[in-house]
Amino acid sequence: MSFVLIIMMTLGKRLALTKNGSLTVINEWQNDHWIASSFDGLGNRSQITVA
């Protein structure tokens, strides 16, 4: 299960986070740019994808 939490929206800028069931941030958006994180079985970040 994951959910999107909008943190800030002001002056045409948007910041949003997607968290998984463990409340770990798995996606971050700032306007049209995003970062996605993947985690290993121990919960360590194993990969970051940026676009």
Listing DSSP states for 9-28 in one string gives EETTEEEEEEEETT--EEEE
pLDDT at 6 over 80: no
Higher pLDDT, 19 or 33: 33
Place of tokens 């939490």: 5
Among residues 14, 16, 17, the alpha carbon closest in space to that of 31 is found at 14
Question: Do 24 and 39 meet the contact criterion of CB atoms below 8 Å apart?
Answer: yes
pTM for this predicted structure? 0.68
Domain layout of the chain by residue ranges? 2-41
